[in-house]
Amino acid sequence: MTDALLQVQGLTRYFDVSKPWLNRVIERSEKQFLTATADVSFEIKRGETFALVGESGSGKSTIAKMIVALLEPSAGTIRFDGQTMNFQSSAAMRALRRRFQMIFQDPFASLNPRWHVGDIIAEPIRTFGLLRGAAVMREVGRLLDIVGLSSADAGKFPHEFSGGQRQRIAIARALSSKPEFIVCDEPTSALDVSVQAQILNLMRDLQDEFGLTYLLISHDLSVVRHMSNRIGVLYLGRLVEVADGKKLFTEPQHPYSRMLLDAVPDLALSGRRRAQVQGEIPNPISPPPGCAFHPRCPLAFDRCRAEVPQPTPPPGGEAACFALGRSG
């Protein structure tokens, strides 16, 4: 048995964004595809928190959805605990599905407003037939307790809770099928900072207690730094750098990672003069040729405009950049 719980290999997903058939015929336009993720490979070890960061449109959430099997990859494989996910076989997927869960960004949209909190949390238990009868509600009470709510809350509706409390309910629901792996897609970006701190602390406690493995998706670099063992940086659907937790912040390799770090407002009031960030993320329907970052990159040279760089291992991680190989 390897210690990698999740292995992602060459994961790619296209979306067809063509105009309707008739328009295409009349206007003689081609089919159009948007590449949301291209050739993404990484591993998540058991018990660690792996984070994916990137700006909007970088493909973070698409990867998350493919990993929890809500979306089928166009190419590439996902191996969970040594088993390749087979999107065709629903029986095999069902057995795997119990073992990974997801926490969504918006706790106002992810809980059914017409269901009691107890039923929301009990649903995975009943679906997977883990317990029956009165034991189900006892388990629900225990889960509510674990996430810092009270077992009496099971009879209430989601609207009776604040944003932070709802996110706790979402976490209890995710825990109820006793998963090993939880994908957290921007779990705190809809919350205020003081509540965010509560949820992040809770997530860490649960990880220690149940030995959970997290995939954390976030655009907030300071949250990612606080939570993760390893970090992958995405740009326009490609993984540009994978680095060990704090190392990304002390020695960022890829020019995009450096730019991203420079752009974060500084609470420490160090008065550092940050480099002016250039340009914006290009349209993913027509990404620039070669390295997608080259139009904004200060280090770009001819090769970057022609070839797509592959991840190469500099000390302490991986970065996909031609400039790094060139005499530092």
User: x/- binding map, residues 37-56, to other proteins, per CB under 8 A?
Assistant: ------------------xx
Among residues 72, 145, 160, 192, the one that binds other proteins under rule CB under 8 A: 192
Q: Tell whether residue 150 is a contact of other proteins (CB under 8 A).
A: no
Q: Tell whether residue 170 is a contact of other proteins (CB under 8 A).
A: no
**Residue 34 in tokens:** 């948007």
Among residues 99, 116, 204, 247, the one that binds other proteins under rule CB under 8 A: 204
Min separation Cβ 298 and other proteins, Å: 13
Of 24 and 226, nearer to other proteins (C-beta) is 226
Min separation Cβ 195 and other proteins, Å: 6
Q: Tell whether residue 116 is a contact of other proteins (CB under 8 A).
A: no
Of 73 and 237, nearer to other proteins (C-beta) is 237
Q: Which stretch binds other proteins (CB under 8 A): 38-46, 64-72, 97-105, 217-225?
A: 217-225
Q: Tell whether residue 201 is a contact of other proteins (CB under 8 A).
A: yes
From residue 93, how far is each of 82, 155, 174, 181, 278 by CA, in Å? 14, 32, 17, 15, 44
User: What is the SS3 assignment for the chain?
Assistant: CCCEEEEEEEEEEEEECCCCHHHHHHHCCCCCEEEEEEEEEEEEECCCEEEEECCCCCCHHHHHHHHCCCCCCCEEEEEECCEECCCCCHHHHHHHHCCEEEECCCCCCCCCCCCCHHHHHHHHHHHCCCCCCHHHHHHHHHHHHHCCCCHHHHHCCHHHCCHHHHHHHHHHHHHCCCCCEEEEECCCCCCCHHHHHHHHHHHHHHHHHHCCEEEEEECCHHHHHHHCCEEEEEECCEEEEEEECCHHHHCCCCHHHHHHHHHCCCCCCCCCCCCCCCCCCCCCCCCCCCCCCHHHCCCCCHHHHHCCCCCECCCCEEECCHHHHCCC
Q: Which stretch binds other proteins (CB under 8 A): 74-82, 104-112, 176-184, 216-224?
A: 216-224
Of 92 and 195, nearer to other proteins (C-beta) is 195
Of 126 and 274, nearer to other proteins (C-beta) is 274
Residue type, 245: G
Among the listed residues 88, 159, 93, the one whose alpha carbon sits nearest the alpha carbon of residue 128: 93
Q: Tell whether residue 273 is a contact of other proteins (CB under 8 A).
A: no
Q: Tell whether residue 66 is a contact of other proteins (CB under 8 A).
A: no
Of 160 and 302, nearer to other proteins (C-beta) is 160
Q: Tell whether residue 109 is a contact of other proteins (CB under 8 A).
A: no
Q: Tell whether residue 145 is a contact of other proteins (CB under 8 A).
A: no
Angle between helices 117-127 and 134-146 (to 10 degrees): 120
Among residues 23, 84, 222, 312, the one that binds other proteins under rule CB under 8 A: 222
Among residues 197, 299, 308, 324, the one that binds other proteins under rule CB under 8 A: 197
Q: Tell whether residue 264 is a contact of other proteins (CB under 8 A).
A: yes
Of 97 and 230, nearer to other proteins (C-beta) is 230
Residues engaged in binding other proteins (CB under 8 A) = 55-56, 162-165, 192-198, 200-201, 204, 219, 221-223, 225-226, 249, 259-269, 274, 276-277, 280-281
